[in-house]
Amino acid sequence: FDMKGEDVIVFLHIQKTGGTTFGRHLVQNVRLEVPCDCRPGQKKCTCYRPNRRETWLFSRFSTGWSCGLHADWTELTSCVPGVLGRRESAPARTPR
């Protein structure tokens, strides 16, 4: 996995397998050069690559349920490229 490149981790959540706990660990506890920004009270964290406003993690805790609730492999395969393309091309929002 090359965080500074173009690689993206897509987390496939499988119900009743500890997926919620593991997904939360991906955004909160993995030691990275630039850790995910998780703010109190927010359900999603911002997981950007070093020196770029591009996400490296596609999961419910970083992008929300962008492909639907508990999307399966087929749904994710067809949905993720479009969602990431829209997110990366959208103008940056200024924090309030």
The pair of three-digit structure tokens given for residue 31, joined into one six-digit string: 């030691």
End-to-end Cα separation, the chain, in angstroms: 33
Tell me the catalytic residues.
70
pLDDT digits (tens, 9 = 90+) for 5-22: 999 999 999 889 999 999
Convert the pLDDT of each residue in 65-79 to its tens digit.
Answer: 999 998 999 999 999
Residue 23 in any domain: the answer is yes
> How many separate domains does the chain show?
1
Range of the domain at 49: 9-87
What type of residue is 27? V
Inside any domain, residue 4: no
Q: Name the pTM for this structure.
A: 0.85
Give Cβ neighbours of residue 46 (< 8 Å, ≥ 6 apart).
Answer: 36, 37, 55, 62
User: Is 54 within the bounds of a domain?
Assistant: yes
